[in-house]
């Protein structure tokens, strides 16, 4: 019998190997999320909503009730679900295009209303599923299919600072963090805290995850890793941005 890789208990094994491209960060984010679900023991009441974009491929990823929604509309679907049955743990999973462009009004208003849901937004700096167009998060100078000579901030602005925006419009009770697939232990910790925040009924929780897209970045393994570990954090600061009533990571003994 071949050795099976260690998978979270909440993963749906019969749909593995998963459908994401080699080197894609989604599998890592979903592994960290699976571990968080396992550790919190919420597989029976979690509802996973995935957006359209590469995240749609996660529609059968977990042994968790799952809804595949429309592009940008996962936040309101999970909001409606949570409002109708507060015992469920609502997880809205989306990309940077879905969350910061077409669905930004939903993200902003759900955050402002302090909806008791958890939004996980995977930032790979461009639209993956549609073939690598510019996203709100594309870095200055970064080449994409719609910025073939590099993103010009004079014409198209600077990368959206999502968690900073969410932190600015939420009040006490919200949890906001930015993690990265380059640090999975930290990422799992953030996702767990985000879910715990919802379980405690504190308020909105939001985790942006810096991720990879070697297919559209046209990078090899080494370049991909360099991009996510070194380049992205220059624009997107990794860490906890807002923690309800408590200390941020690393402040405990500071």
Closest CB to other proteins among residues 112, 221:
112
Strands 126-127 and 175-180: unpaired
- What is the smallest separation between the CB atom of 126 and other proteins, expressed in angstroms? 20
Q: Which stretch binds other proteins (CB under 8 A): 63-71, 170-178, 198-206, 233-241?
A: 63-71
SS3 state of residue 227: helix
Residue from 26, 73, 192, 193 that binds other proteins (CB under 8 A)? 73
* CA 198 to chain CA mean position, Å: 16
Residue from 26, 31, 106, 242 that binds other proteins (CB under 8 A)? 106
SS3 state of residue 242: strand
118 binds other proteins (CB under 8 A): no
Which whole-number Å values give the CA distances from 68 to 15, 56, 241, in the listed order?
16, 6, 29
79 binds other proteins (CB under 8 A): yes
3 binds other proteins (CB under 8 A): no
Among the listed residues 95, 126, 154, 121, the one whose alpha carbon sits nearest the alpha carbon of residue 216? 126
Which whole-number Å values give the CA distances from 4 to 13, 16, 23, 32, in the listed order?
10, 11, 19, 18
85 binds other proteins (CB under 8 A): yes
Among the listed residues 12, 242, 55, 171, the one whose alpha carbon sits nearest the alpha carbon of residue 67? 55
Residue 54 and residue 151 in contact, taking contact as beta carbons nearer than 8 Å = no
7 binds other proteins (CB under 8 A): no
Angle at 7 between CA 248 and CA 212, to 5 degrees: 60
Q: Which stretch binds other proteins (CB under 8 A): 38-46, 134-142, 178-186, 187-195?
A: 38-46
Residue from 65, 164, 229, 231 that binds other proteins (CB under 8 A)? 65
Closest CB to other proteins among residues 58, 187:
58
2 binds other proteins (CB under 8 A): no
232 binds other proteins (CB under 8 A): no
81 binds other proteins (CB under 8 A): yes
Summarize as ranges the residues that interact with other proteins (CB under 8 A): 10, 12, 43-45, 47, 52, 56, 59-60, 62-70, 73, 76-85, 87-88, 105-106, 108-109
């Amino acid at each position: 019998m071949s050795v099976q890789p260690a998978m979270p208990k909440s993963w749906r094994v019969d749909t593995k190997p998963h459908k994401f491209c080699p080197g894609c960060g989604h599998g890592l984010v979903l592994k960290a999320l699976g571990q968080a679900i396992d550790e919190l023991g919420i597989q029976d009441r979690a509802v996973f909503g995935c957006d359209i974009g590469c995240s749609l491929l996660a529609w059968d990823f977990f042994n968790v009730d799952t809804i595949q929604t429309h592009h940008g509309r996962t936040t309101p679907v999970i909001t409606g679900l949570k409002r109708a049955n507060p015992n469920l743990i609502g997880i809205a999973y989306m990309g940077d295009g879905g969350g910061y462009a077409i669905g930004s009004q939903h993200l902003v208003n759900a955050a402002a209303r302090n909806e008791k849901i958890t939004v996980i937004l995977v930032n790979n700096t461009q639209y993956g599923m549609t073939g690598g167009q510019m996203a709100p998060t594309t870095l200055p100078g970064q080449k994409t299919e719609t910025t073939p000579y590099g993103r010009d901030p004079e014409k198209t602005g600077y990368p959206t600072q999502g968690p900073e925006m969410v932190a600015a419009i939420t009040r006490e009770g919200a949890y906001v963090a930015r993690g990265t697939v380059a640090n999975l232990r930290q990422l799992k910790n953030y996702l767990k805290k985000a879910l715990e925040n919802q379980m405690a009924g504190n308020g909105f929780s939001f985790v942006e995850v810096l991720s990879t897209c070697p297919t559209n970045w046209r990078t090899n393994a080494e370049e991909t890793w360099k991009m996510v570990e070194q380049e992205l954090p220059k624009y997107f600061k990794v860490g906890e941005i807002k923690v309800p009533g408590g200390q941020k990571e690393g402040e405990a003994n500071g």
